[in-house]
Amino acid sequence: MAESEEMYARFSADLEGAATRSELAAVQNRHLGRASRIKEEFRRLGELPEPQRRARASMLNDLARRMREEVDGRIEAAQAAESEQRLASEWLDMSLPGQAPRRGAWHPLTEVERRCLEVLRRLGFERADGPEVEDPYHNFDALNIPQHHPARDMQDTFWLDAGLLLRSHTTTIQARVLSARPRPPVKVAAAGRVYRNEAVDATHMAMFHQLEGFWLEPGLTMGHLKEILVYVARALYGRRVKLRFKPKYYPYTEPSVGLDIACTACGGEGCEACHRVGWVTIIGAGMIHPAVLREFGYDRDGVRGIAFGWGTTRMTAQWLGISKVRSLYAPNQRRLAYLHRGVA
């Protein structure tokens, strides 16, 4: 019995230190193979007298069966673990849709909007959206445009029932974001359709697209604003684009500036795309008006804001070198495909 316990103890120690199937197979061969000690003991049974031989054979058989059951169980468990690991590494979800090549292309307006948002995303701006059906407070009053303000005539829009209206600019999203009182710094970009009750001609539409961004943080200055505008313009039009700033007026910024670029179609010489003036205003911007900051409770702790925006409709027209923005909204797929070559 002492000899049996010694052989089993050595087997258990070797089995405990084996993890993989190859290591377990080596343990099995070492303790149960032809050259193992237990096999040697079986071969020596003939040297013993009958009663002793029978008792020793029974003990060796029990020991061999016990060791074989344990090592077989460990080998089976190791095999299952390795199979599970291999399946996990080679797993493929056949229910996922295939990666088919993209067909068609984005509408030029959508392509330009996506590029503009990508530029602002590099600067840390987060996308926000708002409703196209607005109330007068978020469209006018909260943005320093009271009822008697002349800008209400310039931004005359379409009025709906219950005193609602179609938003005349995407600055309504700025009003909605700030009304939630987020803690500075706040950097938000917004884009979408806007509506104005204008006579439709070659350069004006009753519905068009805008995109804007605003940044709220203590210590902001006009220097931050100009640096952002120059970065955005060069990222969209190239580093060699000619730029100029000029004073502007917007009711929700003070002071206000406009950023012009030399017409991309003529290089500033004057053509139909720029109406023969050579320059096109692409971005209107300024420091957020103190009245707007006061309206939303940010007139404290040195918080300042900058805001800037542009019409993606006009920007797309500049990109494509066309003078009639109406063609961007025409349901002519061949025409849009032809125009898209200038953006791709």
Residue 239: give its domain's CATH number. Answer: 3.30.930.10
3-state secondary structure of 108: helix
Core vs surface per residue 164-175: b (16+ CB within 10 A) or e: ebbbbbbbbbbb
Kindly state whether residues 53 and 166 are assigned to the same domain.
Answer: no
Report the share of the chain in percent with pLDDT over 90.
17
Kindly state whether residues 312 and 205 are assigned to the same domain.
Answer: yes
Does residue 339 surpass a pLDDT of 70?
no
CA angle 232, 215, 220 (to 5 degrees): 95
Q: Does 101 map to a domain? A: no
Does residue 202 surpass a pLDDT of 60?
no
Q: Does 100 map to a domain? A: no
Q: Does 28 map to a domain? A: yes
Lowest mean pLDDT among 30-34, 72-76, 177-181: 30-34
Kindly state whether residues 73 and 129 are assigned to the same domain.
Answer: no
106 versus 342: which is more confidently predicted?
A: 106
Q: Does 102 map to a domain? A: no
* Whole-number average pLDDT of the chain: 81
3-state secondary structure of 307: strand
Q: Does 99 map to a domain? A: no
pLDDT of residue 307: 93
pLDDT of residue 151: 64
Starting at the edge strand found earlier in the chain, the sheet holding 207-218 runs 126-127, 186-195, 207-218, 303-311, 279-288, 253-262, 243-250
pLDDT of residue 99: 74
Kindly state whether residues 77 and 153 are assigned to the same domain.
Answer: no
pLDDT confidence tier of residue 38, bands split at 50, 70 and 90: confident
Kindly state whether residues 155 and 228 are assigned to the same domain.
Answer: yes
Section 274-289 average pLDDT: 82
Residue that terminates a domain, selected from 56, 89, 122: 89
Does residue 337 surpass a pLDDT of 50?
yes
Q: Does 98 map to a domain? A: no
Residue that terminates a domain, selected from 89, 118, 137: 89
Q: Show the domain range for 6.
A: 2-89
C-beta separation of 171 from 309 below 8 A = yes
Q: Does 191 map to a domain? A: yes
Kindly state whether residues 61 and 119 are assigned to the same domain.
Answer: no
Kindly state whether residues 336 and 255 are assigned to the same domain.
Answer: yes
Q: Give residue-wise pLDDT tens across range 120-162.
A: 999 899 999 999 999 989 888 888 887 777 766 666 778 888 8
Q: Does 163 map to a domain? A: yes
pLDDT confidence tier of residue 174, bands split at 50, 70 and 90: very high
C-beta separation of 303 from 217 below 8 A = yes
Report the number of distinct structural domains present in the chain. Answer: 2
Kindly state whether residues 159 and 225 are assigned to the same domain.
Answer: yes
Kindly state whether residues 61 and 125 are assigned to the same domain.
Answer: no
Residue that terminates a domain, selected from 89, 117, 137: 89
Kindly state whether residues 287 and 145 are assigned to the same domain.
Answer: yes
pLDDT of residue 273: 59
Looking at residue 118, its amino acid is E
Kindly state whether residues 61 and 113 are assigned to the same domain.
Answer: no
CA angle 287, 290, 296 (to 5 degrees): 110
Does residue 1 surpass a pLDDT of 70?
no
198 is in an annotated binding site: no
Kindly state whether residues 14 and 159 are assigned to the same domain.
Answer: no
Q: Where are the beta strands (DSSP E) in 144-294?
A: 165-166, 186-195, 207-218, 243-250, 253-262, 279-288
